[in-house]
Amino acid sequence: SSRSSEPAASPQPERASPSPAEVEVEPEEAEAVEPPAPKRLERVMQTWTADDPSQLSIVEDQFVNVWTETGTDNGWIHAEIVGNEERVGWVPTIVLQKLPEGQRWMAASQNWEALDASQCSATEGDMVVVWISSLTKEGWTYSESQKDFKGWLPVFCLDWNEN
């Protein structure tokens, strides 16, 4: 068998797509959307009256959402009243309940009736303390309601928030 000594003609590549330097990039019309600031539900333990318009007056046993990234070194945090988000301002952190590590307040997003003594009942709108680390792969978490119900609650009944 004889081999040709002539190299095979290499096909000429078709024009590839333009290089990034050759493409005129139009500025994006849609502005980047910032993700919402992380908030955490907190319970007010002591009534506090604002001293100026940048502050927020709050009353004992009220719930506020605090912006977790706004805490200051001198003990203030930005908050909004739950159910009246237009009312915002600075509050002293000393008037907010300190929960043990790994526990968070969360709102019940729907009703749940305990099926046995190991479960916790909740009504939509209830505020419950949730043990974050107790979350099971089946979707249950250990909780305690303000009505002194303690036990397991399905996560789908909660506005889940670990912030």
- pLDDT, position 62: 96
Tell me the domains of the chain and their CATH numbers. Answer: 39-95 (2.30.30.40), 103-159 (2.30.30.40)
- pLDDT, position 31: 58
What phi, psi does 153 have (nearest 5°)? -130, 135
For the chain, the C-alpha Rg in angstroms (whole number) is 28
Q: What is the pLDDT of residues 86-133, one digit of tens each?
A: 999 999 999 999 999 999 999 999 999 999 999 999 999 999 999 999
- pLDDT, position 26: 52
In the chain, which residues have pLDDT < 50?
2, 4-23, 25, 27
Question: Do residues 44 and 61 lie in contact, with contact meaning Cβ atoms separated by under 8 Å?
Answer: yes
Residue 21 token pair: 């330097």
- pLDDT, position 29: 52
Q: Which of 70, 19, 16 is nearest to 42 (CA)?
A: 70
HSE of 122, CA atoms in CB hemisphere, 13 A = 32
Q: Which of 63, 151, 142, 155 is nearest to 108 (CA)?
A: 155
Percent of the chain with pLDDT over 70: 77
- pLDDT, position 146: 83
- pLDDT, position 149: 86
- pLDDT, position 49: 97
